[in-house]
Amino acid sequence: RVRLQQALYRDIYGEQRLLKENILPAAMLYAHRGYLRDLVDPDFQGDVDASLAMAACDIGRDSAGSWCVLDDHCQYPAGVGYALENRIVLSRVLPRSFKQYRVSRIASYFRQLQTNLLAGVGNAGHCVILSYASSHPHYFEFAWLAKYLGYPLVEPADLSVRNNIVYLKTITGLQPVDVILRLIDDIELDPLMIGSGNSHGVPGLVEVARKGGVRILNPMGTGVLENPAFNSIMAQLCQALLGEPLQLQSQRTWWLGDDDQRESALGRLDELQLRHIDVPGEIFEPARMDPSGKQQLLRSIALTPASFVAELPCLLSTAPSLLDGEMRQRPFALRLFQVSAGADFYTMPGGLCLLDADRADERRTLQNIPGSKDVWVLSDQPVQEDTLLRSDSDDVAYGMANGELPSRIAESEFWRGRHSERVESAVRLLRRILQNLLDEDRSATEVLATPAMQGLLRALTAATGTFPGFAGRGGKKKLAHPNRELISLLQDARRPGTLANALQQWQLSASSVSDRLSSEQLRVLNRLNDLLAGLANLALPKDLCEDSTVLGQTLELLDELLLVMSANTGLEHENITHGDVWLFTMLGRRIERAHQIAVTVSAVMSVHRENPRLLEYLLRLFDSVMTYRARYHSGLDNRLVLQLLLLDEINPRSLAYQFKCIQDLIADLPGRRTVSNGDPLNRLAVAGLSRVRLADPEHLLNTERDARQSLQKFLRVLQDLSASMTNAITAQYFTHTEKRQQIGPANIHNAMSSTHPFAADEVGPG
């Protein structure tokens, strides 16, 4: 069947003999949106790249035991990542069963796929996996597949076409791409293509592929092979193209664009199910439709009959399944995966078992299936260990691949680091406030009236950026009655800056780089999902500050959240290679922590700077109480507190430590290992560290109006430095722009020839 699909693809976009001989009706081909006219070569010059590197098909077995094809998947093998996940999970859960039954391993399929990717480009070829964004429901599958194959997972925005070459936007410049394994539909690849359904593809990709500038697997235009109308003439197509009978029959299909078939199908309408050829997951069952719905369907068929097919429902066989704690018999289909192996095709010794919904009109899409199973192919010989790791020892195996970190990934890692610090800062402040309310013997009203608590509440608003809050207009009223504001800061995910919102932002950044996270980090991410749901489900009363029971429950959740965040921080430091990805994550952390320290200290010490309780709270926020007691044997002194939290370069919670780390991290960024202090980004880091080193606690606490250096001015400058460093990093590493072009008879080719977009005159505001 896959050989037939390949021959059909070659004829549709090449010679078009089937159209000329009317074996393939023109209306059947043109009605399907998968047919891309841009790819047709009417002069038959050049060889159409018709090698289907991979394909998949759904097959079902009816009650009589006969197998038939339900659907073809020729653009990309959707579900192969889920099949891989199922196999990995089950092999760990049932290791003895795998050995006892001699279950064939599926790594051979992916090894053959790797061979296809490197065909013609060798081991030095640059391959990427092109997928949808992290918001796509199948992004988990894409990330799993990319991590297993070991190729960068990119989105259309990560690629750029210049001078008939496809480039990947990386942190070190534009890197040429030789091979693209695409996991997105044809019509969303290139917005310049006729019939494109997306404006966010890679402009010019079709033209580059036509000219051989990049190899795309599967080749573009294969979506036309998924037209269910072809099933009505598949036997004739097989005879015409391969000269042999069709071995595996398709589901009995009538194409309503043909007058005779339409009349035959409409005469037995209640026995059939109908489909629109461009909407794979939508199936209509006239027998179950009300009269008005059926009439609407008939009107649609009358308007565009070539866009509809009728199928004889296949009563699929069933398999036992445990769903919602109940054992039930579910109909199922098997999705089988093929990969090109030279002149033939290799079938994965396994597959994905798709459990069907109870209703036939809810079948055939991965989004709505109630579950899946792993498919085992048993061997009559002992099964050997199999892996994708290379066993050869050529020179390439000893080299380190540098410069392939996409700018989008680096940016997501940078903001993942920043969001994690924001979450931790918000948790620490909220935890300290609620703990004080729970521990004090006095009433909540009395506790809230103390200068120390009011300083913490103002700091909470400043650190989260949720103004006016406790620090702006109406702040005095909220300081006296903070329940509503505290509940919002805990649970309102739609309000920027709240704990719930910061958690969501952290998850969004983490999910966009999930293919680069370790299994332990993914477990942390899953636990954070649970805690976010638990936070949203907390029933917080209007009198939160007076309810000790709810305060205790909330504190337990915040404690666990802080513990999980600490586990994530430890994994980042000790379990992750300190390469480019780690550098951007840590840089985001340090910049955000410096900002949080400056903002919090400024807000807490804006009033009542000598209040002992306030100073103690400040030390507890930054885990510095024990250090202070061990180092200074005197009472709480605001000068010593500032010395420890702002100026101490060996305290990991101090401002000086952050700027020192920032300077070291910037020095190790790609392309900066030999950069002088005159570099704009490095200059900002040096300026921040120098200001901290030259600061004096006595002068910072000087309250005279004409004082040259005050605490508020000092901290405000450092806050601005953090923002300036973020802008500089964005311009240098995350923004790709071309040089300005002169309108007129200028040499446009030369203006666009640069492959390194990071020169100072090329940085834009993006």
d(CA 65, CA 88): 30
pLDDT tens readout for residues 372-391 = 999 999 999 888 877 775 54
Q: What is the arithmetic mean of pLDDT over 628-653? A: 93
* pLDDT at residue 445 is higher than 80: yes
Asked if residues 492 and 498 have their Cβ atoms less than 8 Å apart, the reply is yes
* pLDDT at residue 675 is higher than 90: no
pLDDT tens readout for residues 231-256 = 999 999 999 999 999 999 999 999 99
CB-based contacts of 613: which residues, under 8 Å, 6+ apart? 450, 451, 452
pLDDT of residue 385: 78
d(CA 475, CA 326): 55
pLDDT of residue 388: 73
Instruction: Select the more confidently predicted residue: 449 or 754.
Output: 449
* pLDDT at residue 463 is higher than 90: yes
Confidence of residue 739 (pLDDT cuts 50, 70, 90): very low
* pLDDT at residue 705 is higher than 80: no
* pLDDT at residue 495 is higher than 60: yes
**Percentage of residues of the chain with pLDDT beyond 70:** 89
d(CA 485, CA 476): 12
Nearest in space to 604 (alpha carbons), one of 454, 720, 710: 454
Q: What is the arithmetic mean of pLDDT over 295-317? A: 94
Tokens 């995910």 — which residue? Answer: 493
Min mean pLDDT across 218-222, 628-632, 757-761 is at 757-761
d(CA 747, CA 765): 25
* pLDDT at residue 179 is higher than 50: yes
CB-based contacts of 175: which residues, under 8 Å, 6+ apart? 126, 167, 168, 403, 404
Q: Give the per-residue SS3 of 295-348.
A: HHHHHHHHHCHHHEEEECCCCECEEEEEECCEEEEEEEEEEEEEEEECCEEEEC
pLDDT tens readout for residues 41-97 = 765 444 445 678 999 999 999 878 899 999 999 999 999 999 999 999 999 999 999
pLDDT tens readout for residues 680-697 = 888 999 999 999 999 999
Q: pTM here?
A: 0.86
pLDDT tens readout for residues 273-290 = 999 999 887 889 999 999
d(CA 465, CA 599): 10
pLDDT of residue 755: 33
Confidence of residue 750 (pLDDT cuts 50, 70, 90): very low
Token code pair at residue 458 = 């103002």
Confidence of residue 366 (pLDDT cuts 50, 70, 90): confident
Nearest in space to 454 (alpha carbons), one of 462, 540, 466, 488: 462
* pLDDT at residue 737 is higher than 70: no
